[in-house]
C-alpha cells in the first residue's frame, strides 16, 4: 500500500506541528539521548580496549580476528540506536558522520596507550598495538559504512 501525495503532505504537517509543540524538557531529553549514546560508546570502547590489551598475548593467532569481531559487534550495537535516532530527527547526522570516525581514531590511541602502560607493568607484549587499534577501529566503522552504502545504493546504481 502506497501513500498518495496528499497523505504524505498531511503527515509531514502533523510531524512539523508536533515538533514545534515539544516542551523544553522533551527537547533536552532528545539532546541527552544523543550524548548519552556517545558516552556509552566511549565507555564501551574503553572497556573493550582494555580487554584486548590484557588478553592480546593469550589469544595468539586469533587475536586480530577477535579484535575485528568485537569491533564489528560493538559498532553494530552503537549503529542500531543511531539509525533510529536519525529516522526521528533528520538533522542529527553529526553523531554518526563525524563522531563515530573520531571515536574509531580515539580507540586506536587508547589501545596503543593502554599497551604501553601494560608493558610498563607486565613487561613486553607480543602484539602490535597500532595494528590492533586499526583493525578494531575499522571494524567498529563497518556497520555504519555498510548501512550507509546500502541506504544510498539506489542513488549509485
63 burial (CB, 10 Å; 0-12 / 13-18 / 19+) is buried
Residue 87 has pLDDT above 90, yes or no: no
* C-alpha closest to that of 85 among 32, 11, 44, 146: 32
Hey, which of 35-44, 57-66, 111-120, 148-157 has the most confident mean pLDDT? 111-120
Average pLDDT over residues 92-121: 85
pLDDT band of 55, cuts 50, 70, 90: confident
* C-alpha closest to that of 54 among 108, 111, 138: 111
DSSP 126: S
Average pLDDT over residues 49-64: 87
Contacts of 13 (CB under 8 A, 6+ apart): none
Using only C-alpha atoms, the chain has a radius of gyration, in whole angstroms, of 20
Residue scoring higher pLDDT (30 or 101): 101
- Other CB atoms within a 10 A radius of the CB of residue 92 amount to 17
- For residue 50, what is its C-alpha cell? 582494555
Output the pLDDT for position 1.
Answer: 61
User: What distance in Å separates the CA atoms of residue 37 and residue 139, rounded to the nearest whole number?
Assistant: 19
Per-residue b/e over 132-154, b at no fewer than 16 CB within 10 Å?
bbbbbbbbbbebbeebeeeeeee
- For residue 15, what is its C-alpha cell? 510531524
pTM recorded for the entire structure:
0.76
Residue 157 has pLDDT above 60, yes or no: no
Chain centroid, CA 38 distance in Å: 8
Helix (H, G, I), strand (E, B) or coil at 157: coil
Residue 150 has pLDDT above 60, yes or no: yes
pLDDT band of 27, cuts 50, 70, 90: low
pLDDT digits (tens, 9 = 90+) for 3-17: 778 876 777 777 667
Amino acid at each position: 500500500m502506497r501513500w498518495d501525495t496528499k497523505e504524505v503532505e498531511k503527515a509531514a504537517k502533523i510531524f512539523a506541528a508536533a515538533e514545534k509543540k515539544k516542551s523544553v524538557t522533551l527537547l533536552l531529553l532528545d539532546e541527552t539521548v544523543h550524548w548519552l549514546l556517545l558516552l556509552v560508546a566511549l565507555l564501551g570502547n574503553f572497556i573493550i580496549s582494555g580487554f584486548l590489551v590484557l588478553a592480546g598475548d593469550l589469544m595468539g593467532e586469533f587475536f586480530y580476528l577477535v579484535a575485528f569481531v568485537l569491533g564489528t559487534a560493538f559498532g553494530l550495537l552503537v549503529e542500531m540506536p543511531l539509525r533510529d535516532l536519525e529516522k526521528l530527527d533528520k538533522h542529527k547526522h553529526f553523531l554518526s558522520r563525524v563522531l563515530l570516525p573520531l571515536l574509531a581514531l580515539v580507540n586506536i590511541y587508547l589501545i596503543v596507550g593502554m599497551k604501553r602502560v601494560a608493558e610498563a607493568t607486565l613487561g613486553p607484549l607480543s602484539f602490535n598495538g597500532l595494528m590492533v587499534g586499526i583493525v578494531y577501529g575499522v571494524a567498529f566503522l563497518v556497520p555504519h559504512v555498510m548501512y550507509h552504502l546500502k541506504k544510498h545504493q539506489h542513488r549509485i546504481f
